[in-house]
Structure 1
Amino acid sequence: MKKERVKLTGAEKSELFAEGVVTVILLLLLNLSIIILIHLAVLQDQNLVNGIYFLKSTVTLVGNYHLWSWQRIFIICMAIGDLIVLYWRLIRRYHQMQLRHVISELHYIADGHFDHRISFAVRTDLQRVIDSINSLVDSTVNSINEEKAIEQSKDELITNVSHDIRTPLTSIIGYLGLLKTGYVTPEDQQKYINIAYTKAEQMKSLANDLLEYTTLKSNNTKLNLSDLHIYSMLEQVEAGFELEAEKKGIHFKIEARPKDLTIKADAEKLVRVYNNLINNAFKYGTGATEIKLVANLINKKTVELRVENNGAPIPEKSLKKIFERFYRVETSRNTKTGGTGLGLSITKGVVDLHHGTIRCTSDKDWTSFIIRLPLDPSQA
């Protein structure tokens, strides 16, 4: 935003002109009084008159010019002093006008116009005040927007959780109601029990996600650090998804450089990170045939962990929000991909606890979740 000087109104210009006129009149009266007093003092002291005459006749300047009369020197000095006083008075009044403009702008912002900023450019310490006010307004607006986002997230959470609880709960009540009637065959009875059990598991998973998310956000969460062999952990993670990957026609590829790479981490929480990222690939990586679990030692202090799949890319507009609370790439909600959108938020929470970073890149070839962790979080 380009800053301009304060533009004075017509009334303010008149006020400034009147200030100058009054100041000049007062200075002229003061100067006249001083000249009269000095003149009277000189006339009453003959020695002073003789001294002045002696200086005038003996002191010469370049080119044999004698010193001007003392009246001229004194008048020039007084004129210079008058100009200084005039400038000081005018500039002081101008600064007061600037301050009035700043106060007016501040009242305008305080009335709720938070998109407005003070655009004045001044050459005094007032500029620091203006910059501080603009920074304060920016901070306030950001806080308000963040508060609105939190409220919206809470509303989305209530909506999502209500939907995800109501859907399986309705199914459970329906099937239990059929079982309660007693008019079902043994085959249907077992089928209804299995469906009700599956729906109950979905509700349990939702409750666990909510509990884990709130736990990670609390300040009391501690890491249980221990030496963790990365390649062995990746093999165990792969084994846990082997059957599901086989059904989906997905092949796992594990790489660790070096293969004996070991870090200090909370094994349980880090496994949860991989579970979330792999489940995310299963749900949203449409058409994926391969998932890579890669670990690389970057330097003596940092390790990079990657979970990559060659499925459908994530839209560019979603990449910046993908780790936000309750954000979901798709807007539809169904039993296959439904949820509160807490999985990646939980993942980021775990990475943050380890003093690491996580980001996501996606193109037509690969979608990659890239995690960087310190080898020892306790020393980070």
Structure 2
Amino acid sequence: MKKKNIFLTILCALCIISSCIVTSFYPNVSTATPTKLPETLEQNLTAFILAKKLEQDPKYEYITFEKDTPEDIQKDIKKGLNSALSSAKNIFENDPNFFYTCDVNYKITSKQFNVNVKKKDTRYYDTLDSNTLNVTDNIVNLINYNSEKYYEYCDGTYYCDGEPFPGYTLHMPSDVVLTFYIPAVLNYDNTSLIDLLDLDADQYTYFFMTSFLICSAIIALYVFLNKYAYEKEAYIFRHVNNWLFEPAFLLFLTIDALLASGTCILTTYSIEGTFLHILNRYHIELSQPIVYGVNILAWSITLFFIGLSVYWLKCQFTTSIKDWFFHKTWIGKFILYFSNKVERIISTDLSDEILKKYIIFSICLILILAFISLLNIPFFSFFVVVTALIGISVVGYKKIKNVQSQYQDILHMTEDLPSGNFENIKPADSGLFQSLNNNIYQIKDGFEQAVKEQVQLQNLKTELISNVSHDLKTPLTGIKNYVELLNDPNISEEDKKSYLERLNQYTDRLSILITDLFEVSKANSGNIDLEYSDINIIDFIEQVCAENEELLQAKNLQLVTNLPEKEIHVCLDGNKTYRIFENLFTNISKYALENTRVFLDVKDIGNSVVIIMKNTSKAPLDFDSDITERFVRGDKSRHESGNGLGLAIVKSFTEVQNGTFMIETDGDLFKSILSFHKS
């Protein structure tokens, strides 16, 4: 499976697994018994206990007023309290979600109370004893719900609409015990009790936010830690890369907010049982699995879009701030577009024509604005406007004149450049054309360098002709001398044989010289045929070492190799590459100090393979020029069999195969370094 598919598969699996874990906690959250009754529920339960006492004993005097309490206050308090008792009794007697048993002086009344119910299956399960209830604040609040005035109880003093009054005493019964429970799964038909339970979205916010943050953090961490190269190729993800910042930001913000809000509402309704109740109302089969399935789907989609949003945010950091601003934002694109338009407008040839056009434009502008000013504003304003416009035109004229002068200076520099008159080309303050001035100065330096290199190349050609002439003349002279000796009729057979051997050596040397010179010329000119093939460079070097072992042993040179155990493949011409190593081994056998070691190392460095050959020179290494140039070493050692083209062939054949070759010396240590690109 491709890595981009693995990334997407794992992301989807994380979203689904996280969703399943969250929904598995729904039962625990829904059956968690609150530690405290809601205030409104407690107030109404207090009123219900008092109402149950009055039901058994209608003559029970439950409230008395202090002396001097105004009659209107007494009536209003009794009216409000009686209304609260009636309302509480009506709620708890008729609501399908409230089940109780009430003991009033050993007279028990109940409503479908199941003594075997388990507390884990209830939302609230409690027993209230009228002797232990602190009812002052509860009763005051109930009175306020149903009275025309507003009452308060503070530090032992009663207040009515902010004014103190003697107050009242509420006589709670001492013989009432109420045991009740409210089921965990609520019935939403014909119920008013739910309004007293404070059941709203905030009740489960802590659970939702905690779960949402933990799951989002897991998804975000996974997306951030994955390689961008795999993510950008994944389905859906690859379409997000080039979205502009502003619309993408608003889109992801809106979608994530809507999905999170919708999932939060769905989670709340599912935990409360509202969703399940709706399905049961329409007799939908498998309602409970549907509830969990819809929740898992909603959580999975939300988390997936969170991961997609995090990936989009990650995309913003894959480029420099400048590239991001100008290529991935609306504002940046507009600025870039506007800048390009302005650049196209001002990018024109600064010749006399533009100055004339500017003068004509300024005059026209002055006349038009002056005419408009005469028609609409006083003479003084007209004078000010015209003066300002004339001043702007004069300043503009001077600016253009200055720019034109700078333009002429640059033009003169470009005229001096082809003629080789470099003395007048130098850095100067060119204002608008400063960058152009700098570029011309750099071009001048490049021309000077090119001329120097051309002169040097010409000298090298002259030296090459001289060297070739010398190297051809030496064997030809030898051949001529030995041919004359062979023409002597008195020559002995032994001398004749010796002369023929020397003659054969001279012809071989001449043939090798011409062949090598021809191959170097073809390689340097690029007119060479290469037959590339895939080569295991390790096996190739081992073969070359084996074939040149006798050459080294003749000088008592010990070869020490350090080769990687793995295969390293390069695309090279086998014959040309063999000639490279053959020349290097030949060079070592000629110039290495006898009875020393020769080292050959192969290193794998990423996309390239480097071959290093080191030996100790028997002569001082005091080259004053590039030793890989043609005939350099031959000039210093013409008494030997070398012709000075060995390393030149190595360099040419290496570079024509897109490799590099260089020489390093350290004292008497001679180091050849080859580098080729791996297949």
TM-score by length of structure 2 reads 0.41
Matched, 1:248 2:555: yes
1:90 paired residue number: 398
Q: Is the 8 A contact 1:231 1:255 kept in 2?
A: no
Distance of aligned partners of 1:267 and 1:116 in 2 relative to their CA distance in 1, 3 Å threshold: farther
2:451 paired residue number: 144
Once residues 113 and 343 of structure 1 are traced to their aligned partners in structure 2, the CA distance between those partners, rounded to angstroms, is: 42
Matched, 1:332 2:636: yes
Matched, 1:182 2:484: no
- Please list every run of 5 or more consecutive structure 2 residues that lacks an aligned counterpart in the other structure: 1-358
Q: CA deviation at 1:221?
A: 2.8
Q: Is the 8 A contact 1:230 1:256 kept in 2?
A: no
The percentage of counterpart residues that share the same residue type is 25
Distance of aligned partners of 1:287 and 1:95 in 2 relative to their CA distance in 1, 3 Å threshold: farther
1:272 paired residue number: 579
Matching residue within 317, 322, 346 for 2:649: 346
Q: Is the 8 A contact 1:295 1:303 kept in 2?
A: yes
Once residues 507 and 520 of structure 2 are traced to their aligned partners in structure 1, the CA distance between those partners, rounded to angstroms, is: 20
1:364 paired residue number: 667
Structure showing greater relative contact order (alpha-carbon pairs closer than 8 Å, 6 or more residues apart): 1
Once residues 164 and 239 of structure 1 are traced to their aligned partners in structure 2, the CA distance between those partners, rounded to angstroms, is: 32
Deviations 1:19-78 (A, max 9, x none): xxxxxxx9xxx9xx98xx98xx97xxxxx7xx86xxxxxxxxxxxxxxxxx344333323
Distance of aligned partners of 1:348 and 1:261 in 2 relative to their CA distance in 1, 3 Å threshold: same
Matching residue within 354, 373, 377 for 2:676: 373
Secondary structure at 1:257 match in 2: coil
Return the index of the structure with the highest Cα Rg: 2
Distance of aligned partners of 1:374 and 1:332 in 2 relative to their CA distance in 1, 3 Å threshold: closer
Deviations 1:143-182 (A, max 9, x none): 4334333322221221111101100110111011011112
2:461 paired residue number: 154
Matched, 1:308 2:614: yes
Once residues 288 and 360 of structure 1 are traced to their aligned partners in structure 2, the CA distance between those partners, rounded to angstroms, is: 23
Once residues 73 and 327 of structure 1 are traced to their aligned partners in structure 2, the CA distance between those partners, rounded to angstroms, is: 88
2:273 paired residue number: none
Residue 250 of structure 1 aligns with an amino acid whose one-letter code is L
State the Cα RMSD in Å. Answer: 3.4
Once residues 389 and 624 of structure 2 are traced to their aligned partners in structure 1, the CA distance between those partners, rounded to angstroms, is: 66
Q: CA deviation at 1:261?
A: 4.7
Q: CA deviation at 1:135?
A: 4.3
Secondary structure at 2:563 match in 1: strand
Residue 298 of structure 1 aligns with an amino acid whose one-letter code is I
Q: CA deviation at 1:363?
A: 0.8
Please give the residue correspondences for 1:16-27 in structure 2 after superposition, counting only pairs within 5 Å.
Answer: none
Distance of aligned partners of 1:363 and 1:116 in 2 relative to their CA distance in 1, 3 Å threshold: farther
Q: Is the 8 A contact 2:664 2:672 kept in 1?
A: yes
Once residues 337 and 115 of structure 1 are traced to their aligned partners in structure 2, the CA distance between those partners, rounded to angstroms, is: 50
- Please list every run of 5 or more consecutive structure 1 residues that lacks an aligned counterpart in the other structure: 1-25, 43-47, 53-69
Q: Is the 8 A contact 2:427 2:438 kept in 1?
A: no
Please give the residue correspondences for 1:59-208 in structure 2 after superposition, counting only pairs within 5 Å.
Answer: 70-114=378-422, 117-124=425-432, 126-208=433-515
Q: Is the 8 A contact 2:568 2:678 kept in 1?
A: no
Distance of aligned partners of 1:166 and 1:116 in 2 relative to their CA distance in 1, 3 Å threshold: farther
Once residues 577 and 483 of structure 2 are traced to their aligned partners in structure 1, the CA distance between those partners, rounded to angstroms, is: 38
Deviations 1:354-380 (A, max 9, x none): 32222222212632212121232xxxx
Q: Is the 8 A contact 1:109 1:116 kept in 2?
A: no
Secondary structure at 2:639 match in 1: coil
Once residues 191 and 360 of structure 1 are traced to their aligned partners in structure 2, the CA distance between those partners, rounded to angstroms, is: 40
